[in-house]
Amino acid sequence: MGTATISKMADEHLLKIYNRFPIALDHGEGVYLYDADGKKYLDFQAGIAVCSLGYSNEKYKSALKDQIDKLTHTSNLYYNEVCADAANALAKISGMDRVFFTNSGTEAIEGIIKTVRKYAYEKDGTTDHEIIAMEHSFHGRSMGALSVTYNPHYREAFEPLIGNIRFAKFNDIESVKALINDKTCAILTETVQAEGGVYPADEEFLKQLRQICDEKDILLVFDEIQCGMGRCGDYFAWQGYGVKPDCMAVAKAIGNGIPVGAFLMTDKVANASLKPGDHGTTYGGNPFAAAAVRTVIEIFEEEKIVENVKTLAPYLEAVVEELKAAHPDAIKERRGRGFLQGIELKVPVGEVIAKAQAAGLLTISAEGNVLRLLPPLVIGREHIDEMKNILDKILT
Domain end (from 274, 302, 330): 302
Q: Check whether residue 28 and residue 101 sit in a common domain.
A: no
Q: Check whether residue 295 and residue 351 sit in a common domain.
A: no
Domain that holds residue 94: 71-302
Strand 219-223: give its sheet, edge to edge.
98-102, 261-265, 247-250, 219-223, 184-190, 130-134, 165-168
> 76 — phi, psi (to 5°)?
-85, 15
The amino acid present at 215, given as its one-letter code, is E
Q: How far is CA 67 from CA 18, 78, 254, 294, in A?
A: 32, 17, 17, 12
Is 64 among the domain residues?
Answer: no
pTM: 0.96
pLDDT at residue number 382:
98
Is 63 among the domain residues?
Answer: no
For residue 41, what is the domain's CATH number? 3.90.1150.10
Domain end (from 258, 280, 302): 302
Q: Check whether residue 18 and residue 82 sit in a common domain.
A: no
pLDDT at residue number 113:
98
Q: Check whether residue 23 and residue 157 sit in a common domain.
A: no
Please report the DSSP string for 192-221 in residue order.
Answer: EE-TTT-EEPPHHHHHHHHHHHHHHTPEEE
pLDDT at residue number 1:
86
Domain end (from 284, 302, 320): 302
Per residue of the chain (396 residues), what is the pLDDT tens digit? Answer: 899 999 999 999 999 999 999 999 999 999 999 999 999 999 999 999 999 999 999 999 999 999 999 999 999 999 999 999 999 999 999 999 999 999 999 999 999 999 999 999 999 999 999 999 999 999 999 999 999 999 888 999 999 999 999 999 999 999 999 999 999 999 999 999 999 999 999 999 999 999 999 999 999 999 999 999 999 999 999 999 999 999 999 999 999 999 999 999 999 999 999 999 999 999 999 999 999 999 999 999 999 999 999 999 999 999 999 999 999 999 999 999 999 999 999 999 999 999 999 999 999 999 999 999 999 999 999 999 999 999 999 999
> How far, in Å, CA of 263 to CA of 124, rounded?
24
Q: Check whether residue 294 and residue 315 sit in a common domain.
A: no
Please report the DSSP string for 320-356 in residue order.
Answer: HHHHHHH-TTTEEEEEEETTEEEEEESS-HHHHHHHH
Q: Check whether residue 46 and residue 99 sit in a common domain.
A: no
> How far, in Å, CA of 390 to CA of 37, rounded?
21
